[in-house]
Amino acid sequence: MRSFGLSDAKVAAFVHHGGISRKGGAKALRLSGWIDEPALTLNSTQGDHPHGRELSFAWLTGTVMTGLTSVLLMGAALYVSFEGQDTFSTAYEALQLINGKTDDSSSQQGTKGDRRRPVTQTRSDYELVDASIRELTGDRSLIRKQSFVRIRATLATTATALTADVPEYDPVAMLEADDQPSEQAPVANPEIYAANIEGEVSIRTSVLPSGFVPSPAITDANAAQFSKETVENLFAEGGGEGLLMAAYAPAPSGVRDLGVVDAGLSGVAENVTILAKTSARDNHLGRSERIVAMREGGALRDTLLKNGFDERTYPMLAASLANVIPSELMPRNARLRILMGPSRMSDTLIPYRLSIYFADEANGAIRHAATAALTDRGSYVLGLPPPDIAFPEEDTEQVNVNNLPTIYRAIWETARKHDVDDAITRRVVAMFAYDVDLSKRISAGDSIEILQTAPDGSGRSELLYVALKTGSTSRELYRFRTDEGSVDFYDPEGETGKRFLTRRPVKGGGRLVSRFGYRVHPIFKTRKLHTGSDFAAPLGTPIYAAGDGVVERAQWVSGYGKYVQLKHVNGIETAYGHMSRIADGLEPGMPVRQGQIIGYVGSTGNSTGNHLHYEIRVNGRPVDPLSVKLPRDKALPPQYEASFTQTVTQVRELMQRPAIPALVVAQR
């Protein structure tokens, strides 16, 4: 018997050593599946599957090739579904334009692997409103018509070429911008009338009859209460004798009047900060699509330059569309679909594809007119239309979390999209820098409102009102001019938008790497309170005083390394740790101004990376520097309460007044 090529002698030896008798061995082997046939052979029957011990190279090769082909096809499908596609252009001969019909229904439908992103509605209203205002010129009052620009828009959810050249985020530079005095303008506190009055009206004064006695505007009781509150407030400033003065005089208390600073501190907890040795994974920009409706029609160029295209890319696009859409003037209700994607040269998004759609005036149906797509060589060519969609009534944009810009960048993007002067934009971001962490990413739906005067002959406008909504919080600032001529912006309660301390006192704002709060101690592995916020920055980056104050400490402190502590008013202190160097000449008892350099970023003490450890303490207790409610720098004097309330009411009425129909400009 031969089994798998074994001789009778080998079978006998196997049976003998395995303890199986020769008599029953053959039977046992047959029962176990052994068969009597030749060894493996390559002589397969032609045209049939191999049998028994026969193999076929053709069959084996076909099986392997089928497996490899399946793997390649599945890999290609996954690559495309995960946005590996790099180009949307195609040859001109393969196009099906507005008058053609395509039989490829698959090109009009989304594939099973398409990933859907959330879509948010975008608002972009740029409107003109008219009102009649009264100007006081000496003893004359002039009433004239004034035009105002009203902007109401959602903050941009992507950063494009519009803001490629904006200044880097620098909180101290913003403080300097906000300290610039505002020029006086006749519309700083406009008295707005309900009806528009054409031309100018001169109002002359005359002597009143001797027997006329006007009704008192201020009662004795109100005057007494006002004087009492003023005196109490002056004494509460930390004064004493000599503080009684006229109600309109400023209090003399300030940083330079603090007197002798208490020597030394006690009970300061040792600070230990450990930074991660590797940075977090960078979030890469992704693709998103925005839909823009040109309801009033107009020049295609103006709209595209505010939606990702620039002076270099638009001429290439126009040249590719010239044979399909000769005119650059779009009809009413035209739709634009702009697919945005990351640029290889900057941190902005650029247009990958533009599709133009026209609305049929008869039935309102929207038809595809042309598509231009970006090639790998950086030029635009005609391409096939993207899959059909149902166009919404409002403008929309896909939300890609990786694309969301910082609040700072989003304000700049939105302002430039609406032709707001850069000087006004710098003022806006400076005013909100005290209250808002501008380096934080926006959320979809955050918005901004701006009211400014219409540009004069030199193109100059004056900002009157700005409101910023982030999340569920809304902040409003109104321009107001006092009788002394000083101009500032105040919230509805009459307080300036300024805080007397900044939240990120390092040049450029730094990168937040560790927040205030309890955490597991990186060395002792115990749960411990991290008493400040850590901002990573390159070695030697300047550190600024967060506010006016007096130096309490400027020395080495265990755990903190090179350390500076400042004392401010109202029991507030700030501390700065892990410096590489303390500013020259900084000594205890020395007064410092907000924005003054007090040291430089380093990694001294218990630290594993260059950063600033920043603390704020209120009455000796540490608080979160990024969220604590800080006192305002100043408030509007009480005697202006009525006038300021009138200004707030008038501005709010302007924000609700219907726009001029013939002059509405839709900046999409």
Lowest mean pLDDT among 182-196, 383-397, 425-439: 182-196
The CATH number assigned to the domain holding 604 equals: 2.70.70.10
107 band by pLDDT with thresholds 50, 70 and 90 = very low
Cα 349 to its chain centre, rounded Å, is: 14
Q: Percent of the chain scored above 70 by pLDDT?
A: 65
Domain presence at residue 218: no
- pLDDT at 618 (0 to 100): 87
Q: Is the pLDDT of residue 110 over 70?
A: no
Q: State the average pLDDT over residues 500-515.
A: 87
Question: Residue written as tokens 């109490």?
Answer: 232
Confidence of residue 343 (pLDDT cuts 50, 70, 90): confident
Residue pair 549/256 in contact (Cβ under 8 Å)? The answer is no
More confident residue, 372 or 10: 372
Q: Which of 361, 376, 402 is the last residue of a domain?
A: 402
The whole-angstrom separation of Cα 331 and Cα 310 is 22
Closest residue by Cα to residue 461 from 190, 149, 181, 135: 149
Same domain, 578 and 545: yes
State the DSSP code for 126: E
- 388 shares its domain with 483: no
Which of the residue ranges 277-281, 377-381, 498-502 would you say has the lowest mean pLDDT? Answer: 277-281
Query: Does 662 score more than 50 pLDDT?
Result: no
pLDDT, greater one: 556 or 519? 556
**Per-residue model confidence (pLDDT) at position 182:** 46
Cβ partners under 8 Å of residue 54, min gap 6:
40, 41, 42, 43, 44, 45
- pLDDT, greater one: 76 or 197: 76
Q: Which of 596, 591, 593, 586 is nearest to 564 (CA)?
A: 586
Identify whether residues 306 and 388 lie together within a single domain.
yes
pLDDT at 375 over 60: yes
Cα–Cα distance measured from residue 584 to residue 591, given in angstroms and rounded to the nearest whole number: 14
Q: Tell whether the model's pLDDT for residue 96 goes beyond 50.
A: no
Does any domain span residue 272? no
d(CA 400, CA 157): 8
**Number of structural domains, the chain?**
3
Which band of pLDDT confidence, cut at 50, 70 and 90, is reported for residue 267?
very low
Mean per-residue pLDDT, 607-616:
92
CA dist 112 and 162 (Å) reads: 35
Q: How many CB atoms lie within 10 A of CB 442?
A: 22
Provide the phi-psi class of 84: left if phi over 0, else alpha when psi is between -120 and 50, else beta.
Answer: alpha
The beta strands (E) that lie in 502-656 are given as 511-514, 517-520, 527-530, 533-536, 542-544, 549-557, 561-567, 572-582, 591-592, 597-601, 611-618, 621-623
> 20-34: per-residue pLDDT in tens?
555 566 677 666 666
Indicate the angle between helix axes 171-178 and 422-432, nearest 10 degrees.
110
pLDDT tens profile 229-247: 655 554 444 444 333 333 3
Number of C-beta neighbours around residue 182 at 10 A: 16
Residue 264 has pLDDT above 80, yes or no: no
- If you average pLDDT over residues 173-201, what whole number do you get? 50
pLDDT of 76 strictly over 90? no
Question: Cα separation of 85 and 286, whole Å?
Answer: 12
- Is residue 422 a part of any domain in this protein? yes
Enclosing H/E stretch for 17: helix 8-17
In this prediction, residues 424-428 reach a mean pLDDT of 91
Question: Tens of pLDDT along 34-47?
Answer: 666 666 555 555 55
As a whole number of angstroms, the distance between CA 96 and CA 386 comes to 11
Residue 399: pLDDT over 90: no
Distance CA 147, CA 192 (A): 11
**CATH code of the domain in which 480 resides:** 3.10.450.350
Q: What is the mean pLDDT of residues 6-14?
A: 53
- Residue among 595, 542, 552, 543 at smallest CA distance from 573: 552
What does the buried/exposed string (b/e) look like for 268-285 if buried means 16 or more CB atoms within 10 Å of the residue's CB? Answer: beebbbebeeeeeeeeeb
Residue 496 belongs to domain spanning: 127-192+405-502+643-663
Residues 483 and 519 in one domain: no
- How far apart are the C-alpha atoms of 194 and 175, rounded to whole Å? 38
Q: How confident is the model at residue 174 (pLDDT cuts 50, 70, 90)?
A: low
Hey, CA dihedral for 263, 264, 266, 269, is it positive or negative?
positive
d(CA 456, CA 665): 17
Shared domain for 522 and 600, answered yes or no, is: yes
Binned at pLDDT 50, 70 and 90, residue 393 comes out as confident
| Residue 519 is assigned to a structural domain of this protein | yes
Instruction: Locate 243 and state its tokens.
Output: 């503080």
Q: Are residues 396 and 409 in the same domain?
A: no
- The predicted-structure confidence for 111-143, as pLDDT tens digits, reads as follows 444 455 677 777 778 888 887 766 555 566 667
Report the pLDDT value the prediction gives residue 533, as an integer from 0 to 100: 92
User: Token pair for residue 426?
Assistant: 């710098």
Both 565 and 522 in a single domain? yes
Residues 482 and 581 in one domain: no
The pLDDT score that the predictor gives to residue 81 is 61
For residue 433, give Cα distances in angstroms to 23, 436, 468.
99, 5, 12
Rounded Cα–Cα distance for residues 495 and 464 (Å): 16
Say whether pLDDT at 9 is over 90: no
Q: Across the chain, what does the average pLDDT equal? A: 75
Same domain, 341 and 413: no
pLDDT at 666 over 50: no
For 483-516, b where at least 16 C-beta lie within 10 A, e where not — what string? eeeebbbbbeebebbbbbbbbbbbbbbbebbbeb
Give residue 224's pLDDT: 65
Which band of pLDDT confidence, cut at 50, 70 and 90, is reported for residue 15?
Answer: low
Tell me which of 301-310, 357-366, 407-416 is least confident. Answer: 357-366
**CA nearest to 665, candidates 418, 359, 492:** 418
Model pLDDT, residue 360:
86
Do residues 612 and 529 make contact, with C-beta atoms less than 8 angstroms apart? no
417 shares its domain with 394: no
71 versus 80: the higher-pLDDT residue is 71
Q: Is 45 helix (H, G, I), strand (E, B) or coil?
A: coil
In a domain, 453, yes or no: yes
The string of pLDDT tens digits covering residues 509-544 is: 898 888 898 887 766 777 888 899 999 999 999 999
Instruction: Over range 300-311, report the average pLDDT.
Output: 91
Residue 378: left (phi > 0), alpha (psi -120 to 50), or beta? left
CB atoms closer than 10 angstroms to residue 652: 15
The pLDDT score that the predictor gives to residue 536 is 93
pLDDT for the residue numbered 251:
38
Q: Specify the pLDDT at position 594.
A: 87
Q: Does residue 376 surpass a pLDDT of 90?
A: no
Q: Which tokens sit at 264?
A: 């030394």
Say if 528 falls within a structural domain.
Answer: yes
Q: Per-residue confidence at 7, pLDDT binned at 50, 70, 90?
A: low
% of the chain beyond a pLDDT of 90: 27
Is pLDDT at 180 greater than 80 in this prediction? no
| pLDDT above 90: residue 575 | yes
> Is 371 within a domain?
yes
pLDDT at 434 over 80: no
Q: Which two three-digit tokens encode residue 5?
A: 């090529």
Please list, in sequence order, all residues whose beta carbon lies within 8 angstroms of the beta carbon of residue 345, skipping any fewer than 6 positions away.
none
> In angstroms, rounded to a whole number, what is the distance separating the alpha carbons of residues 242 and 245?
8
pLDDT, position 266: 38
- Here the CATH number for the domain that contains residue 326 is 3.10.450
pLDDT score of 592: 93
Better-scored residue on pLDDT, 196 or 615: 615
Greater confidence, 267 or 589? 589
Place 344 in a pLDDT band, splitting at 50, 70 and 90.
Answer: confident
CB 32 within 8 A of CB 15: no
pLDDT attached to residue 58: 74
Q: Is residue 635 part of a domain?
A: no
CA distance 601 to 612: 6
Q: What is the mean pLDDT of residues 410-415?
A: 94
d(CA 474, CA 229): 30
Domain shared by 304 and 392, yes or no: yes
Tokens 């700065």 correspond to 576
**Can you tell me the distance from the alpha carbon of 182 to that of 577, in angstroms, rounded to the nearest whole number?**
36
* pTM for the predicted model, two decimal places: 0.61
Q: Is the pLDDT of residue 101 over 70?
A: no
Mean pLDDT, residues 256-283 taken together: 42
Please say whether the beta carbons of 659 and 128 come within 8 A.
yes
438, burial (CB in 10 Å: exposed 0-12, middle 13-18, buried 19+)? buried
Q: How far is it, in rounded angstroms, from Cα 468 to Cα 429? A: 10
Q: Which residue, among 452, 530, 564, has the nearest Cα to 188 in the 3D structure?
A: 452
DSSP-assigned beta bridge partners for residue 487: 481
Q: Is the CB of residue 650 less than 8 Å from the CB of residue 656?
A: no
**Alpha-carbon span 509 to 505, nearest angstrom:** 7
309/332 same-domain check:
yes
Buried b (16+ CB within 10 A) or exposed e, 90-100: eeeeebebeee
Tell me what the mean pLDDT of segment 275-282 comes to: 43
Say how many residues make up the chain.
668
Shortest CA distance to 629 belongs to which of 533, 503, 512?
503
